[in-house]
Amino acid sequence: MTIGTNTVSATPSPEERRRFARVRVNLLGRYMLANRQEYPCQVVDMSPGGMALVCPVAGRAGERVVAYIDHVGRVEGSIMRIQPTGFAMTIQATSRKRDKLAAQLTWLANRHLLDSPEDRRHDRQAPGKSQSEIVMPNGLRVRCDIIDVSFSGAAIGTTARPPIGSLITLGKIQSRVVRHRDDGIAIEFTRLQHPDSLMDNITP
């Protein structure tokens, strides 16, 4: 992941940005600041002109950012304001790119792809190995039971209740909490898992 030397077209003006409808989303990704350090992030709202990120390192106002966001791809821009949980940034893009972003956001909103915890795009099965470990956002390691698992997520038996949307690790797999259950939590993997390595990766 590298920051290119050539910038895309100018940041949209405040008048242009007000024309863009913000969409509540729940998208995972990674971003890179000017020091070339990469960090995980979660986009909580987005428009073709900007987005708000929940992230561990906020950077500085005006700092250039390159991000790769699930379902959206590469976006570039500058930090517009610092927030308690991260930052809001502008998106620098051509008119064509902004039109494409608008279409992607409309599709995501209409599909309810990110806000549907019951979305089971892959069949789930009970694993042969039911014991594993989750690493909480604060680094605490907690033993857990795997109730069922698929290539895209799992149901976890645990008394821990990390916030919905928070990033945790199940075994070796980075995941996002999408729902609290009576017996634990439901998680979605940040990347689809290969069937040959899934069972090995869900255990520490």
Residue 98 confidence (pLDDT): 87
194/132 Cα distance (integer angstroms): 18
Query: Which stretches of the chain drop beneath a pLDDT of 70?
Result: 1-20, 110-129
What percent of the chain is helix, strand and coil (3-state, nearest 5)? 15, 45, 45
Domains within the chain, CATH numbers bracketed: 14-111 (2.40.10.220), 131-201 (2.40.10.220)
Kindly tell me the burial class for residue 200, based on how many C-beta atoms sit within 10 Å of its own C-beta (0-12, 13-18, 19 or more): exposed
Read off φ and ψ for residue 41, nearest 5 degrees.
-150, 170
Asked if 52 and 44 touch (Cβ cutoff 8 Å), the reply is: yes
Residue 126 confidence (pLDDT): 60
- Other beta carbons within 10 Å of 15: 7
Residue 191 confidence (pLDDT): 79
Strand 153-157, strand 184-189: pairing: antiparallel
Could you list the beta-strand ranges (E) of the chain: 23-32, 38-47, 50-54, 64-69, 73-83, 86-90, 131-135, 141-149, 153-157, 167-170, 173-181, 184-189
Residue 123 confidence (pLDDT): 53
Helices and strands in the chain, H and E counts: 3, 12
188/40 Cα distance (integer angstroms): 15
